[in-house]
Amino acid sequence: MPAIFLNPSTQENEYVTGGNEEYYMNLIVDAMIPYLRLNGFDIARSNPGDSLDDIIARVDEQRPGLYLALRSGDSPEGTEPPLQGINVYHYAYTPVGGERAVYYITENLRGIYPDPNFVRIIPADTRELRDTNAPAVVVELGYRGNPEDEMWMKENIDTIARNLALSITQFFNLPFADITEPLSQRL
């Protein structure tokens, strides 16, 4: 059974349209889990109070086949126009598989984001990508401070969750089993 570690943001950064980053990234991860379970994944997840050191230690101990963190980018106040789009990060040096995962995630997100030209792959050298002992990807699903991005994230939780789960199955070379009812209709 392939293993994955999901790390939704623990940052309570406020959205201009209401709510915050931690809340919405956790909703997306909550919606991903049924897809991943149906597709046979062993799932580990960070806890809201975990520090980055705690998360990296858990990943290193569990050694999943993929580490996926979900965030939203920062569009600083006064940025005109506000920043827009999705950023998909992998470790810039010896990506250890993260680069392949980024390819599937980026290509699939381009299929659902309103402007596919704003879905970017960005090599980076952050502790989260460098020190995690697994192929690691960080996805910023839109920009805080951009009302259009915030609303897109809020209105497409199930679509984003399904899309990311599909990308993960592709990364592991597995067929994708779909759920017929989105999470919002099962609650």
Boundaries of domain holding 42: 3-186
Q: Is the predicted pLDDT of residue 184 greater than 80, yes or no?
A: no
- Given a cut of 60, whether residue 95 has pLDDT beyond it is no
Query: b or e along 110-149 (b: 16 or more beta carbons within 10 Å of the residue's beta carbon)?
Result: beebeeeebbebeeeeeebbebbebbbbbbbbbbbbbeeb
Count CB atoms within 10 A of the CB of residue 30.
Answer: 15
Q: Read off the pLDDT of each residue in 154-169 and give the average, rounded to a whole number.
A: 97
Whether the Cβ atoms of residue 135 and residue 65 lie closer than 8 Å to each other: yes
| CATH number for the domain that contains residue 134 | 3.40.630.40
Give the chain's domain count.
Answer: 1
Q: Which of 10, 99, 95, 98 is nearest to 53 (CA)?
A: 10
Query: What's the distance, CA 29 to chain centroid?
Result: 8
How do residues 20-72 score in pLDDT, each as one tens digit? 999 999 999 999 999 999 999 999 999 888 999 999 999 999 999 999 999 99
CB atoms within 10 A of CB 72: 27
Q: Is the pTM of this model over 0.75?
A: yes
Burial class (CB in 10 A: 0-12, 13-18, 19+), 62: middle
Who has greater pLDDT, 98 or 169?
A: 169
